[in-house]
């Protein structure tokens, strides 16, 4: 039986998750695009929720900018890493850490001036009704008018990864069926892998088209305001650009920045974000 359990994956890779956003120049684009977008929309100060904050990279960055952060994640190993990172950055007093789930947030209504749900958290909520519940929770805890930042795994970026990976490893028809299944449904699940007899891989996830995320947020009463391409057209070029020199990395960053508000670039991005208003 395939084992693609999300909780186990994050428990086993907790320390590595801290490095996730700095491992390659392309991953750096996700961090840079996310922080630039947060800086554009966040109020000057206040309380910010980091729902599914994982190892705390964004919680620490925001605490260093003076915000009071509530950091929440269901993976105890990641909450431990986030606590350690906050302590070593000297911002432990500005961050409250909690174990919890985005589908049932343990905070009162309107508790936050802004809410983040970054790096694909909603992609790990596999059931559509539960994704709607999670989006409604993000709205409920954010004060009216406050920004809600939701970044997910992009469906076309995932399919492109599948094409690249499968071509390189010369896999068989079953794996191609899974890639086509992701394109049709967005879902990369144990059930699909078993049904087609494909090779098991990464943690289960749901990948999104841009319209789909906008509709999910709008259905929860959030008003989508902006679509943001994160890795954008540099997506899936991790190995190719791993040793790029400084001139190349700077140029790639400029290109990514100039396409950050381009919807087509968001559609092919490994991760994209929608900024919405509560």
In the complex, which residues of this chain contact ligand SAM (CB under 6 A)?
A: 6, 10, 51-54, 57-58, 73-75, 78, 101-103, 118-121, 124-125
Q: Which is nearer to ligand SAM, 40 or 250 (CB)?
A: 40
User: Residue 180, Cα to own-chain centre: how many angstroms?
Assistant: 22
For residue 117, how many C-alpha atoms fall within 13 Å in the half-sphere facing its CB? 30
Q: Give the shortest CB-124-to-ligand SAM separation in angstroms.
A: 4
Q: Two tokens at 119? A: 């790096």
Nearest alpha-carbon partner for 120 in 270, 262, 275: 270
**Sequence-ordered list of residues with C-beta below 8 angstroms from that of 167, at least 6 positions apart, any chain:** none
* Token digits of residue 84: 């350690």
**Locate tokens 């995932």: which residue?**
158
Structure token digits, residue 214: 């906008």
User: Which residues, including other chains, have CB under 8 Å from residue 56's CB and lie 6 or more apart?
Assistant: 18, 50, 71, 78, 81, 82, 83, 85, 86, 95, 97
* Residue (151 or 178) nearer to ligand SAM, CB: 151
CB 153 within 8 A of CB 176: no
| Least distance in angstroms from the C-beta of 276 to ligand SAM | 17
Q: Nearer Cβ to ligand SAM, position 6 or 166?
A: 6
Instruction: Provide, rounded to whole angstroms, the least separation between the CB of residue 132 and ligand SAM.
Output: 13
Min CB(53)–ligand SAM separation in Å: 5
Residue closer to ligand SAM, measured from CB, 124 or 139: 124
Q: How far apart are CA 266 and CA 173, in angstroms?
A: 29
- The minimum distance between CB 75 and ligand SAM, in angstroms, equals 4
Which residues have a Cβ under 8 Å from the Cβ of 36 and sit 6 or more positions away?
A: 257, 260
Smallest separation (angstroms) from ligand SAM to the CB of 247 = 28
- Give 174 or 191: the residue with its C-beta nearer to ligand SAM: 191
By beta carbon distance, the residue nearest ligand SAM is 119
Question: Which CB sits closer to ligand SAM, 24 or 75?
Answer: 75
């Amino acid at each position: 039986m395939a084992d693609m359990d999300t909780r186990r994956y994050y428990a086993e890779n907790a320390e590595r998750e801290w490095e996730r956003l700095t491992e390659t120049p392309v991953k750096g684009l996700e961090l840079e695009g996310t922080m630039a977008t947060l800086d554009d929309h966040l109020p000057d100060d206040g309380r910010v929720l980091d729902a599914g904050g994982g190892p705390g990279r964004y919680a620490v960055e925001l605490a260093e900018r003076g915000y009071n952060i509530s950091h929440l994640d269901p993976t105890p190993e990641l909450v431990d890493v986030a606590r350690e990172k906050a302590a070593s950055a000297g911002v432990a007093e500005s961050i409250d850490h909690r174990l919890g789930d985005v589908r049932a947030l343990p905070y009162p209504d309107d508790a936050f001036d802004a809410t983040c749900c970054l790096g694909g958290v909603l992609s790990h909520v596999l059931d559509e009704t539960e994704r709607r519940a999670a989006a409604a929770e993000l709205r409920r805890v954010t004060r009216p008018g406050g920004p809600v930042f939701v970044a997910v795994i992009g469906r076309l970026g995932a399919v492109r990864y599948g094409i690249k990976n499968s071509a390189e490893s010369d896999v068989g028809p079953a794996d191609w069926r899974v890639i086509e299944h992701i394109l049709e449904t967005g879902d990369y699940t144990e059930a699909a892998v078993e049904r087609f007899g494909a090779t098991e891989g990464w943690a289960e996830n749901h990948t999104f088209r841009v319209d789909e995320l906008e509709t999910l947020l709008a259905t929860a009463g959030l008003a989508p305001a902006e679509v943001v391409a994160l890795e954008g057209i540099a997506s899936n070029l991790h190995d190719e650009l791993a040793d790029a020199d400084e001139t190349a990395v700077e140029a790639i960053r400029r290109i990514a920045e100039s396409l950050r508000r381009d919807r087509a670039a968001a559609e092919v991005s490994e991760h994209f974000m929608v900024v919405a208003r509560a």
